[in-house]
């Protein structure tokens, strides 16, 4: 048996394993003997069927087994001689030569061979956690809005009122919008929904939101609108439509006074104490956002240093991850799978550069993690599962159920947890070398910040094997009326 490896490019090689005629014949004879021990055929006792008959009757099975053994040997040889750089097997071709030799040609993608930059001394922008009075005032207004009461009123709706209504849209040709492909329900028909009259930033039909200003309970109205030419739902772009509206009730938002009742509800004794709490909370938020920006800076700097090629199989893997996440998010937003499939080819092309950059940063972070002996714990993987579930708008339990038998997806989450921790390590190293990066950082916010980190530490520990369901959510429910309006 002989082997050789030829480099096609810096990240792709062809490995050839050749077995001589005599070796191949010996392997085949041993395999036939093994099969013969268990063969049962009429007229013969078990294990006594002539090998010539076994060889003829089970020729296909023998060839498959021989190819499997040859492939296994090739993998063992590559593992011994080239394993540190083998990334993936692209294809494997089996050849039976006229000389009697058996040959296996394996095309493999290799991990890029590169020198790491001086990653311990990367300079990042400092985090600014200064808080202005205007920011505190804005946050205080948000708190008052969150704790507002919604009072039913018998008058025309004003901008800022909350209105419960129904609406149904049709195109000028009579087609019902809700039955068109790829149209989310919020653009077609709603039998009972709450909308803020005159709101500027809304995912619904802007013409409907604007038109309920001036309407009162039990009033009907029909409106006309034309969607923009570049509207994100292609089946509606540039088309004119009519909407039939019916208002059920109008509620006025009444903000709470800045008094002892509100202070107590927000765990404060005075307005000054409440403003101080808001200030500290804003500092923590700015610190978290600053850390996320530093992570992005790190990624950009590391990618800029990556003067090497990446294997196409790595790019393809990242492209699949990007598209899967995008498709899952869009489907949860109401876009039909059929509509998404129509644009798969264009989306595939659009993700090429992103996928290549993701592949590069993964190889760099993997090397740094190895150099620094960075590993991840079960708790850290659990946090990554929670983040992924939040991104996909599902629960960690459901996500675990979906991926527990998907080895590639499980490994992908584990790698992401490792790479996230490696980025945190790089930020800490940068902070050590540039102390000004921590200036103004609130003491409570120091430490590792993971990408998309949730506000609180997870109360569940998620693993692929077992999920602890004993902890219940301690989130305080909204009052019934207020919950309706969320």
pLDDT (tens digit per residue) in 379-412: 999 999 998 888 878 888 888 888 888 888 888 8
pLDDT band at 361 (very low <50, low <70, confident <90, very high): very high
Q: What is the pLDDT of residue 368?
A: 96
- The pLDDT of 275-290, averaged and rounded, is 95
- φ, ψ for residue 151, nearest 5 deg: -105, 130
CA pair distance 55, 49, nearest whole angstrom: 10
Q: What is the pLDDT of residue 450?
A: 39
Q: Does domain 149-254 fall into CATH 3.10.50.40?
A: yes
pLDDT(348) > 60: yes
Ranges in the chain annotated CATH 3.10.50.40: 149-254
345 is written with which tokens? Answer: 């080819």
Residue that is written with structure tokens 């079960």 in the block:
378
Instruction: Determine which of 66-75, 341-350, 443-452 has the lowest per-residue pLDDT on average.
Output: 443-452
Q: Between 410 and 278, name the one with better pLDDT.
A: 278
- For the stretch 406-429, pLDDT in tens is 888 888 899 999 999 999 999 999
Q: Between 48 and 212, name the one with better pLDDT.
A: 212
Mean pLDDT, the chain, rounded, equals: 84
Pairing of strands 12-19, 86-96: unpaired
Q: What is the pLDDT of residue 197?
A: 96
Q: What is the pLDDT of residue 437?
A: 57
Q: Most confidently modeled of 18-22, 36-40, 66-70, 110-114?
A: 110-114
Reported pTM? 0.66
57 is written with which tokens? Answer: 């009757």
- The pLDDT of 63-70, averaged and rounded, is 86
pLDDT band at 433 (very low <50, low <70, confident <90, very high): low
Q: What is the pLDDT of residue 315?
A: 94
pLDDT(231) > 70: yes
CA pair distance 299, 121, nearest whole angstrom: 14
Task: Kindly provide the b/e burial profile for residues 146-170, where b requires at least 16 CB atoms within 10 angstroms of the residue's own CB.
Answer: eebebeebeebbeeebbbbbebbbb
3-state secondary structure of 108: strand
- The pLDDT of 264-278, averaged and rounded, is 95
pLDDT(470) > 50: no
- The pLDDT of 435-454, averaged and rounded, is 44
* Angle between helical axes of 133-146 and 271-304 (0-180°, round to 10): 110
Q: What is the pLDDT of residue 457?
A: 34
Q: What is the pLDDT of residue 446?
A: 38
Percent of the chain surpassing pLDDT 90: 48
- The pLDDT of 290-301, averaged and rounded, is 93
Ranges in the chain annotated CATH 3.30.70.1050: 2-110
Per the DSSP assignment, residues forming a β-bridge with 5 are 15
- For the stretch 376-386, pLDDT in tens is 999 999 999 99
Total residues found in the chain within this entry: 486
Q: What is the pLDDT of residue 486?
A: 34
Instruction: Determine which of 123-137, 224-238, 258-272, 327-341 has the lowest per-residue pLDDT on average.
Output: 327-341
- For the stretch 299-340, pLDDT in tens is 999 999 999 999 999 999 999 888 888 888 888 777 778 878
Run of H or E residues at 431: helix 407-433
Q: Does domain 2-110 fall into CATH 3.30.70.1050?
A: yes
Q: What is the pLDDT of residue 339?
A: 78
Contacts for 66-69: CB closer than 8 Å, 24+ residues apart: 66/24, 66/27, 66/28, 66/31, 66/102, 67/94, 67/104, 69/27, 69/31
Q: What is the pLDDT of residue 482?
A: 35
Q: What is the pLDDT of residue 145?
A: 92
Q: What is the pLDDT of residue 321?
A: 87
């Amino acid at each position: 048996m002989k082997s050789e490896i030829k480099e096609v490019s810096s990240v792709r090689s062809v490995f050839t394993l050749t077995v001589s005629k005599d070796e191949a014949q010996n392997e085949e004879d041993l395999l036939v003997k093994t099969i013969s021990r268990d063969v049962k055929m009429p007229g013969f006792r078990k294990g006594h069927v002539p090998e010539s008959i076994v060889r003829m009757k089970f020729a296909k099975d023998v060839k498959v087994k021989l190819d499997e053994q040859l492939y296994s040997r090739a993998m063992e040889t590559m593992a011994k001689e080239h394993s540190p750089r083998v990334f993936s097997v692209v294809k494997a071709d089996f050849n039976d030569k006229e000389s009697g030799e058996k040959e296996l040609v394996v095309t493999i993608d290799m991990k890029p061979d590169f020198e790491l930059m001086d990653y311990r001394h990367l300079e990042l922008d400092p985090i600014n956690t200064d808080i202005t009075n205007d920011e505190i005032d804005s946050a205080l207004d948000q708190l008052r809005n969150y704790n507002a009461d919604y009072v039913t009123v018998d008058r025309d709706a004003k901008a800022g009122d909350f209105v419960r209504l129904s609406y149904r849209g049709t195109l000028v040709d009579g087609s019902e919008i809700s039955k068109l492909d790829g149209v989310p329900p919020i653009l077609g028909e709603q039998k009972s929904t709450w909308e803020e009259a005159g709101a500027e930033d809304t995912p619904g039909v802007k013409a409907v939101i604007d038109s309920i200003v001036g309407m009162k309970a039990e009033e009907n109205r029909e409106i006309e609108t034309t969607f923009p030419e570049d509207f994100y739902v292609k089946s509606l772009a540039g088309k004119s439509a009519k909407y039939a509206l019916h208002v059920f009730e109008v509620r006025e938002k009444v903000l709470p006074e800045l008094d002892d009742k509100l202070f107590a509800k927000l765990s404060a004794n005075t307005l000054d104490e409440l403003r101080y709490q808001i200030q500290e909370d804003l500092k923590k938020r700015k610190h978290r956002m600053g850390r996320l920006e530093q992570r992005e800076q790190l990624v950009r700097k590391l990618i800029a240093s990556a003067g090497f090629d990446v294997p196409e199989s790595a790019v393809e893997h990242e492209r699949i991850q990007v598209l899967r996440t995008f498709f899952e998010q869009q489907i949860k937003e109401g876009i039909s799978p059929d509509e998404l499939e129509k644009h798969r080819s264009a989306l595939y092309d659009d993700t090429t550069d992103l996928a290549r950059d993701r592949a590069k940063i993964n190889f760099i972070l993997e090397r740094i993690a190895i150099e620094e002996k960075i590993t991840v714990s079960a708790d850290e993987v659990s946090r990554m599962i929670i983040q992924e579930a939040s991104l996909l708008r599902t629960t960690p339990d459901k996500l675990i159920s979906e991926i527990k038998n998907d080895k590639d997806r499980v490994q992908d989450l584990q790698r992401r947890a490792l790479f996230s921790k490696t980025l945190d390590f790089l930020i800490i190293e940068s902070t050590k070398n540039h102390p000004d990066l921590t200036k103004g950082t609130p003491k409570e916010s120091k430490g590792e910040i993971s990408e998309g980190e949730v506000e609180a530490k997870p109360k569940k520990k998620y693993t692929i094997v077992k999920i602890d369901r004993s902890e219940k959510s301690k989130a305080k429910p909204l009052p019934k009326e207020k919950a309706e309006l969320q």
